Chain A
Amino acid sequence: MAIDFSVVREAIPVLLEGLRVTAVVSLIGIPIGVVIGIAGAYAAQSRTLLRPVALAYVELVRNIPYLILVYLSFFGLPKLGIGASAMAVAVGCTAFYTGGYFCEILRAALRSVARGQTHAALSLGMTYWQTQRHVVAPQLFGFLIPPTTSLVIMMFKDSAIFSVMSLPEMTYQSNLLTANTFAYVEVLGTTALIYWLSSVLLAGVGRRLETVVGRRTRTPDVVPLTTLSAKGKGQLS
């Protein structure tokens, strides 16, 4: 079979227009999700009623297929009198899902920062939030970046599901093009290629961030006592 490159040439601008919508959804939805995830992780650490709520939220996200969540929000919410556009539902679903997964990532990272460090900081007289700000948070990034990169790529890819509610993102544009031209090989091939290149790019950005943060936050395993006290004086006074 021959590939008709004129179809590919015509498809690319349309697909890139779809990619723009995909990117907008991800750029708004994922940061909101990260904020939800941070709130969720600290809620799950607390000893209040917020803890079971946060844990239930994470289980919901992990055990319900994304497609069903999208169907439920898009077709179900209007029945509750909440009319939302496809764009709003897409951003909401992205945020809801990202939040659950980021909560898990952050919880694992918080566990990875040795408990002893928190105790040491608290015994130095730091408050809980000072400990989080000066001791825990700077070390978290190293643990957070690799899984967060995977999460961002996952949410970016899963945005293809929003085509079921006719949000004009890339997969929807691809479906329209194939319906009009029947050029399945050219259009679907190009769509997959654009998704792949975008994912490779995102993974590259993630790796780059890892090395940058790795350079900045790398600490020696054993710190000589003299430098520790000197450092401690400088930082805490």
Chain B
Amino acid sequence: MFDALGMGAMSGVIEPFLEGVVSGTATTLAASAGAFAIGLGLGIVLLLARISPFAPLRSLVVLWVSLIRGTPALIHMLIAYYMVPAMFDISISPVTAGVAALACNTSAYIVEILRGALGTISYGQRCAAYAMGMRGAQVWRHVLLPQVIYRAIPPLTSEFTILLKASSLMSIIAVPELATVARNATLQTDLPLQVFAITAAVYFVLLFCISAASRVCERRVSRMLPHGH
């Protein structure tokens, strides 16, 4: 059956591709992790703006979330790589544009996740912290933020898997990640079925492992959190 799919003929040409898969996977993981870290930082800033007492700031975040969630990630890539440089007359490398687009994309989802997590922390804790003489920033730093992040871990890991899947879109702007490696390999070898099946398998294993880790995380977190609040 393998020979029917041309596996015999492909052993010679497939080796360079398999080497590419390793570097492509590394790029995919690094870019996704980087974009997620930036997105998380951005998400925290957006969360603070989203719940600030200053109404225009809140509306801006609502608009940002709506705009990002209402447009395709592919368009974010194109905007970051073509439109932003044209607007400001600068040049951006594909990797920078790709990571920036992914980070902006994920920030809109992360801010909603964090807001949901913040909603589960009882208001009394904030009052108690103020009553103990903490200032606003201290309340955030020592009381609220650790709990928000902690409670948000399960949805954040599932957001990371979505981000990792979306990172394949960086191939549109030629970032040398896994999907790009696969696309180039099909052009060189004309074995799209095998190449894309292998690529799909690599993504599957990566994402499946992350999802499994996320489920373990979720169980741990739900066991350690107090019930009720």
Report which A residues bind B (CB closer than 8 A): 1, 59-60, 62-69, 71-72, 75-76, 79-80, 153, 157-161, 163-164, 171, 174-175, 178, 182, 184-185, 188-189, 191-192, 195-200, 203
B residues less than 8 Å from A1 (CB atoms): 86-89
A residues less than 8 Å from B169 (CB atoms): 67, 161
- In the complex the two chains form, is B203's CB within 8 Å of A63's CB? yes
Set A71, A174, A195: member contacting B182, Cβ < 8 A: A71
Contact with A along B190-217 (1 / 0, CB 8 A): 0111001101100110011001000000
- In the complex the two chains form, is B193's CB within 8 Å of A68's CB? no
- In the complex the two chains form, is A79's CB within 8 Å of B179's CB? no
19 A-B interface contacts by CB (under 8 A): A59-B204, A62-B211, A67-B171, A68-B168, A71-B179, A71-B192, A72-B193, A72-B196, A75-B192, A76-B193, A76-B197, A157-B70, A157-B73, A160-B72, A160-B74, A195-B70, A195-B72, A199-B69, A199-B71
Name A's interface SS.
helix
In the assembled complex, the CB of A76 is this many whole angstroms from the nearest CB of chain B, namely 4
- In the complex the two chains form, is B71's CB within 8 Å of A192's CB? yes
With A158-B72, A188-B82, A200-B70: A64-B203 Cβ-Cβ less than 8 Å: yes
- In the complex the two chains form, is A80's CB within 8 Å of B200's CB? no
Report which B residues bind A (CB closer than 8 A): 66-67, 69-75, 78-79, 82-83, 86-89, 161, 165-169, 171-172, 179, 182-183, 186, 191-193, 196-197, 199-200, 203-204, 207-208, 211
In the assembled complex, the CB of B67 is this many whole angstroms from the nearest CB of chain A, namely 6
CA distance A200 to B62 in the complex (A): 13
In the assembled complex, the CB of B159 is this many whole angstroms from the nearest CB of chain A, namely 14
CA distance A109 to B196 in the complex (A): 34
Set A75, A161, A182: member contacting B74, Cβ < 8 A: A161
- In the complex the two chains form, is B192's CB within 8 Å of A76's CB? yes
CA distance A188 to B87 in the complex (A): 11
A residues less than 8 Å from B83 (CB atoms): 184-185, 188-189
A residues less than 8 Å from B193 (CB atoms): 72, 75-76, 79-80
With A178-B82, A184-B83, A185-B83: A160-B204 Cβ-Cβ less than 8 Å: no
In the assembled complex, the CB of B191 is this many whole angstroms from the nearest CB of chain A, namely 8
A residues less than 8 Å from B186 (CB atoms): 71, 75
With A76-B192, A80-B193, A192-B79: A65-B71 Cβ-Cβ less than 8 Å: no
B residues less than 8 Å from A175 (CB atoms): 78
CA distance A65 to B199 in the complex (A): 10
With A63-B207, A63-B208: A68-B87 Cβ-Cβ less than 8 Å: no
The residue on B at minimum CB distance from A171 is B74
- In the complex the two chains form, is A64's CB within 8 Å of B82's CB? no
A residues less than 8 Å from B166 (CB atoms): 65
CA distance A69 to B169 in the complex (A): 12
Most buried by A among B83, B165, B199: B83
Given contacts A71-B196, A184-B83, 20 further A-B contacts (CB under 8 A): A59-B204, A59-B208, A63-B208, A65-B168, A67-B168, A68-B168, A71-B179, A71-B186, A75-B186, A75-B196, A157-B71, A159-B72, A160-B72, A161-B169, A184-B82, A188-B79, A188-B83, A189-B83, A197-B70, A199-B70
In the assembled complex, the CB of B155 is this many whole angstroms from the nearest CB of chain A, namely 14
CA distance A174 to B70 in the complex (A): 17
CA distance A72 to B196 in the complex (A): 5
CA distance A63 to B203 in the complex (A): 7
- In the complex the two chains form, is A196's CB within 8 Å of B82's CB? no
A residues less than 8 Å from B89 (CB atoms): 1
A residues less than 8 Å from B168 (CB atoms): 65-68
CA distance A108 to B166 in the complex (A): 25
